[in-house]
Structure 1
Amino acid sequence: MTREVIGRGFLAEYLRQHLPPHVSVTILAAGVSDTSETSPERFRREATMVSKTALRCREGGRLLVFLSSAATGLYGREGEGREDSRVTPVSPYGQHKLAMERLVANSGAHWLTLRLSHVVGPRQNPAQLFPSLVRQVRSGTVMVHRGARRDLMDVRHFATVLDRLLALGVRDRTVNVASGVAFPVDEIVTALEAGIGRSANRTFLDVPPENLRISNQRMRALVPEVAEFGFGPRYLDSLVSRYVGRRVGTVGSPPHGHGDWGYV
């Protein structure tokens, strides 16, 4: 049995289509993904799935790749989020993800935990950040969480990082997968307006200020290729240019000649 991807969401489907095969690897890309989730039942279901998958990987000698989160719920709203620092989650979601990471690490299976920032790509769930904001801008009114910031990562770059980590045989480690730049949500909306070609009326909801910077030093050290990804102030514009078009429509198959252009 070669590479196995568990899950039916955006990331799982992308990895099935684009990640090269790796022998004896199980990628767990399923479970709770809503950072505002508080349901004990949903958390229990994921814990059961993670436990069973880890047991199967241990018995089969397979590497378990667990996709976790680098969200503020895990790392907090301020400072630098580092893999080797003491983590004190500030939300039920963050507490749950940290518990799942510990379950994986203590399972007896070899493991690789990736703490992901906000991944952007084609055919995302409409409730996720980019497609949600795109839909709101096109409707003419957008809700901006004033004080919030988001670190964004192109799904292509995430898949490249994962592929390289697997090829290098990295295991029993936690790695942040993030651009290292957190854009204010208001700035993200402005970039989307430019990409779509229309302005929207903004309503504001004040949230606790976020100044978290997700460290990507470990990722950069393990995968030097990320130096070519273009991380920095212009990275947001590159995501908008690739995934957001000016025509009105819904998320679906990209039009002919536009590759993975997913929000047209």
Structure 2
Amino acid sequence: MIIGNGLLARAFAPLFASDARHLIFASGVSNSLETNAEAFAREKVLLTSALTQNKTTVYFSTCSVYDPKLTESPYVRHKIEMEELVLNAGAMTVFRLPQVVGKTNNPHTLTNYLHQQISSRLPFKIWRHARRNLIDVQDVSSIATYLLRHQHTANQIINIANPLSTSIQDLVKIFENTLDIQALCEVLESGASYDIEATIAIRAASCMGIHFDHTYVNNLIRKYYA
């Protein structure tokens, strides 16, 4: 069973839409800059209702919880609250995700924003020391499915992430090469990075033939934006 109709919901639908045992909760707040309390409240109500069903619920949280600059943001605080709600409900699973890339009209994703600014030749600013972790939504689906079917995931929080994060500067260069357009970006002396421990997911990725190497992000951007 799937709740939601966005990027994650569409990726999981082929295998889980008719699954009577699992409930994939892929609906709720997707904008990490959200501050509207009503948006958070709507997700909580929907999730609370979903947890009353007799199914193993899978909830998607965020790896931004590891970013020391974001620990007090409304979005991260909300996600941590939802994680606790899910785990307290019983044999449920939380997958924390980084920047998920795929076909979506959501303007709030990092890659959609960069694509829009660069392709439209609009000026923007980036942080020199900022790094982001990018992963294909199809790889998220494959890894999560493998873990749900082959490993014990109940009552666990598991990171599904790329072992290699990418600097925003390098990401802009990849977009420039992909689109053959020079970005009008100003580089500011700011930003930071944080580590994401993803051993479990990386092992699962290997079993699924997914290889996180230095060409991964370049191929990912070309796949969805070329």
TM over 0.5: yes
Q: Which runs of 5+ in 1 are unaligned?
A: 79-87, 246-264
1:76 equivalenced with 2:67 (yes/no): yes
Deviations 1:186-218 (A, max 9, x none): 2111101101111121134555x2220211112
**Percent sequence identity over matched residues?**
27
Q: Quick one: which amino acid aligns to residue 166 of structure 2? A: F
Residue of structure 1 aligned with 2:12, choices 11, 15, 19: 15
Structure 2-normalised TM-score? 0.89
Alignment equivalent of 1:111, drawn from 92, 103, 110: 92
Instruction: Give the 5 Å matches for 1:71-220.
Output: 71=64, 74-77=65-68, 89-108=71-90, 110-146=91-127, 147-168=129-150, 170-204=153-187, 207=190, 209-220=191-202
**Alignment RMSD (CA, Å):** 2.2
* Deviation sequence 1:55-108 (CA, Å, 0-9, x none): 22xxx2x1000011112xx11248xxxxxxxxx923221111011000111123
In structure 1, the partner of 2:58 is 65
How many Å separate the matches in 1 of 2:153 and 2:211?
Answer: 24
For normalisation by structure 1, the TM-score amounts to 0.77
Stretches of structure 2 that go unaligned for 5 or more consecutive residues are none
SS at match of 1:103: helix
- Residue 163 (structure 1) shift: 1.3
Assess if the C-alpha contact under 8 Å between 1:26 and 1:64 holds in 2. Answer: yes
Give the whole-Å Cα distance in 1 for the aligned partners of 2:14 and 2:113.
24
- Give the Cα–Cα distance (whole angstroms) in 1 for the partners of residues 101 and 15 of structure 2: 15
How far off is 1:149 after superposition? 1.6
In 2, Cα distance between the equivalents of 1:30 and 1:198?
35
The 2-side partners of 1:204 and 1:44 are apart by 37
- Residue deviations 1:156-176, cap 9 Å, x none? 111101111121253221110
One-letter identity of the residue aligned with 2:33: S
Structure-2 separation of matches of 1:17 and 1:144: 39
Query: Per the alignment, do residues 106 and 155 of structure 1 end up closer, same or farther by CA in structure 2, a change over 3 Å counting?
Result: same
For the Cα contact (< 8 Å) 1:180–1:216, is it kept in 2? Answer: yes
Structure 2 Cα separation of the partners of residues 111 and 197 of structure 1: 45
The corresponding residue for 1:43 is 40
1:240 lines up with 2:218 in the alignment: no
AA in 1 matched with 2:74: P
